[in-house]
A and B are shown apart, each in its own frame.
Chain A
C-alpha cells in the first residue's frame, strides 16, 4: 500500500502514526506544548476503528502507571507529555525499566527548570539519556528532527521496545511538535493478536504464573539483574546507534546537534561554507545509544567540535567523552525556549575556533 501524504503538526503526526502502527493503548494528561496528541486521538476515536484505548488520566503519574499495567499485559502502549510532566513520570519510568517492559514515552520538551516556559528547548537531555528516575537504567532515546520522523519513530520505537524489552523515549521538542510539515503516513497495521510469553494475561494451566515486578530483596539476585540490564544496554550500544552526517567528508569543524538544533545547524553548515569555513554536521538520531564511536573517528579528522543544543550544555558532555581529548569541544546554545539561529551558530564557531 502507498503512503499517504498529509500536512500535519508533529504532535498530530505522532497521534496518527500511533493509530496506524496498531498501538493498543494511549494514556496521557494534557500539557503544553503537546496536548494536540491526546486531542487528536480523542477526536479520531480509534476505539471505534482499531480498538485502541485512549484514556485521559488524572495525572502524569497515573498515566505512566497505566502504561506499566498495559505494557505488562504485553500490549503496545504509550504516553506523551512535556518536561514537567515527564518529571512526574520518572517514578513509573524507573519501575518500567526495572520490570523490563516495552513502551513508548514521548517528551515534547519545553524550557525549564520548574514550570519554565512553554517554548521549545532541549534541556531534558540528561534526564532522558542518563536514566531520569532512580536506579541504574537507560531508556532507548530517539531524537526526531522533523514531523516525518515524529511519525516514523512511533513504529521504530515499538520495534526496539519489544526487541529489547526496554522503554523507549522519543525526545522531541516544542518546535517539532508544533510545526506543520508534510508527512508520509504508513498504511494501517492491524493490532497484534498475540502477546509475548512473559505477559500477564491470566495464567492458563499450561504455564507457570507470570509476575511483573521490579523488586528483589536479595542483593545477589538484584546485582545479577543489574548485570543483565548492563549486558542489554551494551548490546543496544553495539547494534542500535543511529546518526546522520551532513557534509562531514571534508569538514574541519564538526557541529554535533540533534532535533531542532540539527535543522538549524544544517543551515549553519551552508553559511559557514559560504564564508570559507569547512563545517560539517553530525546529527545523532539515537541519543542513547550515543554515536560515540563515530564521533571519536571524526575527532581524528577535524580541528574541533561544537555541540549545539537548546540547553546550558548537556549533550556536550557525551561529545567530550566520545572525543576523549583529541580535539577541543565547545558548547553553544540558547535557553529558556529560544531557538538558536543559524547565524549565531556560525558566529560561535568562528569565535571559538577561528578567532574574532
Chain B
C-alpha cells in the first residue's frame, strides 16, 4: 500500500509562535522551538518530520502564512 509522506517548510522569521498550527496538526509533527527567532517568538518547526502526512492543516490555519507544504506517495 502506498504511503503518503509530507514535509513542511517554516519561514522562521515570520512565525509569531501562536501554536495554532501545532494544535491543528493531526500527527504531532509540529512543536515549538525552545529557541526564539529575531522577533523573540518561539517558532514552530517540524519536530517529528517523519510523522508529517502533508495534509496542510497547519498552513491553512497559520495566520501569518509562514508554512509551505509538500506531499508525495512512496
A and B touch in the complex (CB under 8 A): no
Seen from chain B, the residues whose Cβ lies within 8 Å of a Cβ on chain A are none
Seen from chain A, the residues whose Cβ lies within 8 Å of a Cβ on chain B are none
